[in-house]
Amino acid sequence: MARVYVSSVIDAPATKVWEKVRDFNGLPRWHPRIRDSRIENGEPADRVGCVRDFNLQNGDRIREKLLGLSDYDYFCTYAILESPMPLTDYIATLRLTPVTDGDRTFAEWTAEFECDPADEDGLVEGIGTNVFLAGFNALKRQMGA
């Protein structure tokens, strides 16, 4: 099983960062690689079980299902249902933790998935850099950090 782990510190309160990222349909508003997104069947974007269908800037389409969301613990967990990436059983969690020293946010984004061993290094690097780290860097810019 392949694993991706990326962490960062965002110079903004966790409540403010959470306002930005908790909307499961809101990726295009903060992540630079996402062109558009919609929640299937008109379900609320914070309902566990809802499915988001989105397009990357390069035109690739991905569908993901919300598996968990906590406004108390500041996390969301989701699974990829369809993707052009050569992987299966992908589960990821985006988690925020308040840093009380300076009212900042410790952000972690993790994923586990199955793939061909020949593809593992490239997928781990690509997801870690192009998705997780790119998202954190965009949040830092938007939060004025």
What are the average pLDDT values for consecutive 10-residue runs of the chain, which has 145 residues? 97 95 95 96 95 95 98 98 97 97 95 97 97 96 81
3-state secondary structure of 50: coil
| 19-25-31-32 Cα dihedral, nearest 10 degrees | -140
Calpha distance 9→136 (Å, rounded)? 9
pLDDT for the residue 144: 74
pLDDT for the residue 30: 95
Calpha distance 53→64 (Å, rounded)? 7
Contacts of 129 (CB under 8 A, 6+ apart): none
Calpha distance 78→64 (Å, rounded)? 6
Q: Which residue has 């996390």 as its token pair?
A: 75
The domains of the chain, with CATH numbers, are 2-142 (3.30.530.20)
pLDDT for the residue 139: 95
Measured in degrees and rounded to the nearest 5, phi and psi for residue 125 equal -65, -45
